[in-house]
Structure 1
Amino acid sequence: MAKPNKKGPTKTVDIYCAGCKTQLYKYRKGGKGALVKCFKERIVKDFTLQEGICPHCDQAFARDTLIRGAPALKMIGGKVVMK
């Protein structure tokens, strides 16, 4: 299967925890759909201490996985908000 484009899109979005509104990532997202997954190579700035866990409320918001052969975080529904 094809890997995602390394450079990726130029538009960045901020990803926040849905529970405590703490910023988690600044991410280069492609398309206009819902945030289902985050490819690790597209994360511009990471505000988390542990991967997939909110640093403020310690709630898990994503699971580590491989998508199309690339490392990614699969978001748990309703745990994150994108602006």
Structure 2
Amino acid sequence: MAKPNKKGPTRTVDIFCSKCKTCLFKYRKGGKGALIKCFKERIAEDYTQLSCTCPQCYQVFARETLIRGTPALKIVGGKVTFH
């Protein structure tokens, strides 16, 4: 399988915790579908102290994994929203 494009898309979206609405990070998202995974190299700004955990309510919103050989965060369904 091909690796994701390093530079990625230029459009950024803000990703929020769905429980407390805290901003988790800015992400360069491609396409218009749902947010299922976040490649770590595409995260523009990270506001979390612990990886995959909301800094405000400490809810775990993702799992660290490798997707096509690239480090990524696999989002748990319903734990985050984005604009």
Q: Same fold (TM over 0.5)?
A: yes
- Tell me the alpha carbon deviations over residues 19-45 of structure 1, each in whole angstroms, 9 at most, x when there is no partner: 000000100000000000000000000
Q: Take 1:57 and 1:51, find their aligned partners in 2: how far apart are those partners? A: 14
Corresponding position of 1:11: 11
Q: Take 1:82 and 1:68, find their aligned partners in 2: how far apart are those partners? A: 24
Helix, strand or coil for the counterpart of 2:41?
A: helix
Aligned CA RMSD, in angstroms, stands at 0.3
Q: Which runs of 5+ in 2 are unaligned?
A: none
- 2:77 maps to a residue whose letter is G
Corresponding position of 1:74: 74
Corresponding position of 2:52: 52
Q: How many residues align?
A: 83
After superposing on structure 2, the runs of 4+ consecutive aligned residues of structure 1 that deviate more than 3 Å are none
- 1:11 maps to a residue whose letter is R
Q: Which runs of 5+ in 1 are unaligned?
A: none
Helix, strand or coil for the counterpart of 1:30?
A: coil
Alignment pair present for 1:63 and 2:49: no
